[in-house]
Amino acid sequence: MGMNHDMIGHVYPPSKPYLVTSENISAFVKALGETNPAYADGTVAPPTFPIVVTMNAMDTAFHDPALQLDYARLVHSDQKFEYLRPIRVGDELTVSASVEEIKPLGTNEIATFKTDVYSGDELVVTGWSKIVVRGPEA
């Protein structure tokens, strides 16, 4: 059984707020091994930082029984972020995830999920995650 295509366009409720601190930016930079001096003082987050908040929103969507996604067969395919401005210390981020597309590819299905990351009422960054859900074994 494949994913429920009726879920295309479904928007999930916003995530709980996540306060961006110098400490969590610095920890993320350290975990990456990032050496760019622009992130050394921990006041501005590097471009991949939104994954910290978008992963939880995506996890909610992936495990939604209505979506009928077989998580055991999921393979991450692509990820991208489009920024309106950098994420900074003091931002209180919430994420709204939605199912943007589901389409067949042979016995597999490809799905695109969109995540809008807000600081308060301001849209800061939009992300797209593309996944492949492998079809049944032949």
What tens digit of pLDDT does each residue of 25-38 get? Answer: 999 999 999 999 99
- Gap between the Cα atoms of 69 and 129, Å rounded: 15
What tens digit of pLDDT does each residue of 68-79 get? Answer: 999 999 999 999
Given a contact cutoff of 8 angstroms between Cβ atoms, the answer to whether 16 and 96 are in contact is no
What pTM was estimated for this model as a whole?
0.92
- Gap between the Cα atoms of 118 and 81, Å rounded: 13
Hey, what domains does the chain have and what are their CATH numbers? 5-133 (3.10.129.10)
